[in-house]
Amino acid sequence: MEIRKYTDIMGVVVIEDIPEGRMVLITANTPGELTGSFGSRLDLPGVKLPDTAAEAALAKYVVTWPVPYQTTPLYIPVPSVDYAFRQGFGTPGWDSLPLTSTTIHLTWPGQKEGITIPSGYLGIAFDRGVFTVPSGAFVYEANVEVVGSYLVVANTNDDGAGEAGKLKYSATATNAIAIVEHYDSSNTRLTFRTLHF
Q: Is pLDDT at 72 greater than 90 in this prediction?
A: no
What CA dihedral angle connects 168, 62, 58 and 43, to 10 degrees? 160
Q: Is pLDDT at 3 greater than 60 in this prediction?
A: yes
pTM: 0.83
* Tally of CB atoms within 10 A around 96: 5
Q: Is pLDDT at 93 greater than 60 in this prediction?
A: no
| Mean pLDDT score, 166-190 | 96
Q: What is the pLDDT of residues 106-152, one digit of tens each?
A: 888 888 888 899 988 889 999 999 999 999 999 999 999 999 999 99
